[in-house]
Structure 1
Amino acid sequence: MAEDRPRTRIQEKNRAAILEAALDVFSQSGFRGSTLDQIAKAAGLSKPNVLYYFPSKEAIHQALLAELMDVWLEPLRAFTDEGDPIGAILDYVCRKLHMSRKMPRESRLFANEVLQGAPRYGPQITGMLKDLVDEKAAIIRRWSDAGKIAPLDPYHLIFSIWATTQHYADFDVQVRGILHPKDDAHYDDAETFLTAFYRRALNPANTEG
């Protein structure tokens, strides 16, 4: 489909249906385990109709990554050096956990991409994402050097936040299988735990020496 032409309402609707269906399929089966037939069936469209909007499975996957990336990275972009350092980091933790709760498919989509070696997202990891993480790590390092937070490696702090918050989306079946929570109550418990955990870890008063 020519991308330079304005889309009609039905075209917008069909395109959105394809991307929504693809998000379900890719997040469950990964890129390699997904097929155009699965996406077409989930979207309620024929395979030729899907190919009218996207020339390939890879094109759908790339469109999903591109459209979701701004939303997924918004909490990190919003992280600034204004206000209380510990409060700012805890706010980032809570926002990341909230995204895992509300957007588990998106989390699994990115996790599957990275687990496969990031063949489609690799340049963004070493380019745009690295630059963004470098920028936020520099803020955290300044806080640490000034004694406003405990002396922690800023990169591994960020990685640990990703791991502890996105775990609840990426390993949802395991978490629910162990906890048997009522609805999403475990996310509330996780927020209480992670807030206390990081508050203690970041408090410079708790540093030994």
Structure 2
Amino acid sequence: MSSIRERNKELILRAASEEFADKGFAASKTSDIAAKAGLPKPNVYYYFKSKENLYREVLESIIDPILRASTPFNADGEPNAVLSNYIRSKIMISRDLPFASKVFASEIMHGAPHLSEQQVQLLNAQAKHNIDCIQTWIDRGQIAPIDPHHLMFSIWAATQTYADFDWQISAITGKAKLQDSDYEAATQTIIRLVLKGCAPD
């Protein structure tokens, strides 16, 4: 029974991610989410109680990977390895969770009204930790004296674009869907740009 429950919840979450990413929270309907999941509408309420709870679950599904992506960051780590691993993790999030990534980006752009205070604190603390690590490397002369805040913002923008602008990227590359090799090329390109830009003067 539990396996059926988990399967149904996963189907609903995946469908909800697509609907919320495409239409936003207000315009999304639980009936459309249920139809996309191939399940009766009451199942949405049975598992998630409300559209608001379902939306928060979608956000939760992307927040955990975002927090885990920063695992390599530590002041004693080798900067090139840490930054490379971080960029790779962020690209994989855009590849594996594109709809939830779009929902998260939209949530942030609207002032994070559905994120809990604890979630905001965790995300902000993570960002501060990463920025402090970068500043430590700068102070030690391990990387160039660039603004650590804007380095992080640039990495976020470069990696998030593969979720937010997937349609445009597919149109320009002439591919209906990006392949693993495309994401690897993107990863290597961003890593090269960042590491070259961070090389000590």
2:56 is matched with which residue? 62
Q: What residue is the counterpart of 2:39 in the other structure?
A: 45
Question: Are 1:157 and 2:151 matched, yes or no?
Answer: yes
- 1:190 paired with 2:186, answer yes
**Which residue in 2 is equivalent to 1:72?**
66
Whole-angstrom distance in 2 between the partners of 1:86 and 1:10: 44
**Alpha-carbon deviation of 1:163?**
0.2
Q: How many residues align?
A: 199
Query: Do the aligned partners of residues 53 and 135 (structure 1) sit closer, same or farther apart at CA in structure 2, a change above 3 Å counting?
Result: same
Question: What is the CA deviation profile of residues 88-137 of structure 1, one whole-angstrom value per residue up to 9, with x for unaligned ones?
Answer: 11221122112212221221121121233311026356411111111121
Inter-partner Cα distance in structure 2 for 1:125 and 1:162: 18
Structure of greater Rg: 1
Partner of 1:204: 200
Distance 2:85 2:47 in 1: 39
Q: Structure 1's 174 and 189: CA in aligned 2 closer, same or farther, altered over 3 A?
A: same
Moved over 4 A (4+): none
Compute the displacement of 1:87 (Å).
Answer: 2.3
Q: What amino acid does structure 1 have at the position aligned with 2:9?
A: R
Match of 1:4 in 2: none
Change (3 A) 1:73 1:198: same
Write the mapping of 1:7-46 to structure 2, written as runs, cut at 5 A.
Answer: 8-46=2-40
* Structure 2 CA distance for aligned equivalents of residues 101 and 82 of structure 1: 29
Structure 2 counterpart of 1:196, which letter? R
State the percentage of identical aligned residues: 38
DSSP 3-state at the match of 2:145:
coil
Deviations 1:133-166 (A, max 9, x none): 1112111101101111011121211111010011
User: SS of the residue aligned with 1:30?
Assistant: helix
Aligned to 1:3: none
The superposition leaves residues 180-200 of structure 1 with CA deviations (integer Å, 9 ceiling, x where unpaired) of 247424323322321221111
Where do 5+ consecutive residues of structure 2 fail to align?
none
Q: Is the 8 A contact 2:62 2:101 kept in 1?
A: no
Where structure 1 has 5 or more consecutive residues not aligned to the other structure, the ranges are 1-6
The amino acid across from 2:143 in the alignment is I
- How far, CA to CA, are the matches of 1:183 and 1:93 in structure 2? 18
Cα distance in 1 between the residues matched to 2:192 and 2:61: 34
How many Å separate the matches in 2 of 1:140 and 1:115?
25
Alignment of 1:114-129 (within 5 A): 114-121=108-115, 123-124=117-118, 126-129=120-123
Alignment of 1:104-119 (within 5 A): 104-119=98-113
Alpha-carbon distance in 2 for matches of 1:188, 1:47: 39
Distance 2:83 2:12 in 1: 36
